[in-house]
Every structure is written in C-alpha cells, then in structure tokens.
Structure 1
Amino acid sequence: MPDVAAAKARLEVQLAELEARQARIAEDLAEPLNADSGEQAVEMEDDASLEGQGALVAKEIASVKRALGRIVDGTYGECVRCGEDIAPARLEARPEAALCIDCARAAE
C-alpha cells in the first residue's frame, strides 16, 4: 500500500510547480513581437516551441490532477486498466502513474 499522504503532498507540490511553469509560458507567449522582421522570425520560432512546451505541461497537469482525484476516491495505487496494484517503487518514481508497469509497457 502506497503512502498516500506523502504521495498527495508530492503531487500537490508538483501541481503548483507545473501551474507556475504554465503561467510563465503564457506570459512569454503574450509578449508582443519585435518590430524588426528578422527578430520576429526568431520570436515566432520560439513561440512555436513554447506552445509545444505548454501543451506538454497541460498534459502533465491533467495527469497530476487525475492522480489527486484517485487519492480522493480511494483508488490511488491501483492500475486504472487492470485493477492490480501499482508497484510502490513506480509510484515513488512517478506519483502520478495510473498504470502498472505491465499495462504501461503494453500501452507503449
């Protein structure tokens, strides 16, 4: 059985960090483009990269929120696919893990 209180604390810290990162990305994307056309091209490339990072961060936020939801409903530590327990070492490494290692490998 995983240490749910410790996992919840780690997930809450992770969520706060991800949300702060998402806010910084949004701020960077909101900055107006430089008037110089050469600089604009570079900034547009940077914006495309930031948008990609923003999408990844949003995905991570959703994963952490789902894990926190599993804590609330009492299913944290159970594989959402097969129902077996997720190994404590996996939860230690990835507290937001929703799949046991076998189901995660099958999903890849």
Structure 2
Amino acid sequence: MTDTAKAKATLEANLVELEGRLERIQRDLDEPHDPDSSERAVQMEDDDSLEGQARLVTREIASTKRALDRIESGEYGYCVQCGEEIRDGRLEARPEAALCINCARKG
C-alpha cells in the first residue's frame, strides 16, 4: 500500500505549484490589451490559450484537493468507482488518481 504521508506531501507540494501557476495565468489575463488593433488581436488569441490553461490547472487543483480529502478520510488508494486498490505505481505516477487503471480505461 502507498505511503500516504509521502503522497500527502507530494500532493500538497503539487497544490502549491498549481495554485502559483494559476495565479500567474490570472495575472497575465488581467493585463490590459494594447490599443493597437493588430497587437490587440494577438493578445486576445494569447488570452484564449491562457484561459484554456487556466481551466486545465483549475481541474488539476480540484483533483489534487479531492485526493487530499481522500487521504484525510482514509479512502486514498482505493478506486472511487469500483473500490479496488489502486496500484502503487499508478499512485506514484499520478498521486491524484481516483480511479484504478481498469476503471480509468473504461471511462
């Protein structure tokens, strides 16, 4: 079974990094656009990309927080769909994983 203390430390470090990344993205999005119309068009395209990144990072933050909740409740390391134990290798690679590899492949 996975060392939950180690997993918790990893998840907490990941959460700090993700929240910092989201903050930097938000800061970039909050910058005013250049009044030059051609430059503004490029900046708006960049904003679309940044908004997509923000959505992905927000989902990663939510997954990480749910994994930390599962550690606190004693449910970490078990598939939330079938209840089977998630293999250590999967949790080492993706400590926020909520599904065993079989359920992840089905979804």
Structure 2: which amino acid aligns with 1:58? Answer: T
Mapping for residues 8-23 of structure 1, pairs under 5 Å:
8-23=8-23
2:86 counterpart of 1:95 = no
Aligned counterparts of 2:57 and 2:87: Cα–Cα separation in 1: 25
| Corresponding residue for residue 72 of structure 1 | 72
Q: Aligned pairs, how many?
A: 107
Shift of 1:34: 0.3
Shift of 1:61: 0.2
RMSD (Å), alpha carbons: 0.3
Shift of 1:93: 0.3
Q: Percent identity?
A: 64
Shift of 1:68: 0.2
Which 4+ stretches in 1 moved above 2 angstroms? Answer: none
Shift of 1:55: 0.2
| Corresponding residue for residue 44 of structure 2 | 44
Structure 2: which amino acid aligns with 1:98? Answer: A
| Corresponding residue for residue 31 of structure 1 | 31
Q: TM-score if structure 2 supplies the norm length?
A: 0.99
Shift of 1:84: 0.3
Q: Which runs of 5+ in 2 are unaligned?
A: none
For residues 18-69 of structure 1, what are the alpha-carbon distances to aligned partners after superposition, in whole Å with 9 as ceiling and x for unaligned?
0000000000000000011100000000000000000000000000000000
| Corresponding residue for residue 104 of structure 2 | 104
Aligned counterparts of 1:92 and 1:29: Cα–Cα separation in 2: 33
Structure 1: which amino acid aligns with 2:48? Answer: A
Structure 2: which amino acid aligns with 1:14? Answer: N
Q: TM-score if structure 1 supplies the norm length?
A: 0.98
Shift of 1:85: 0.1
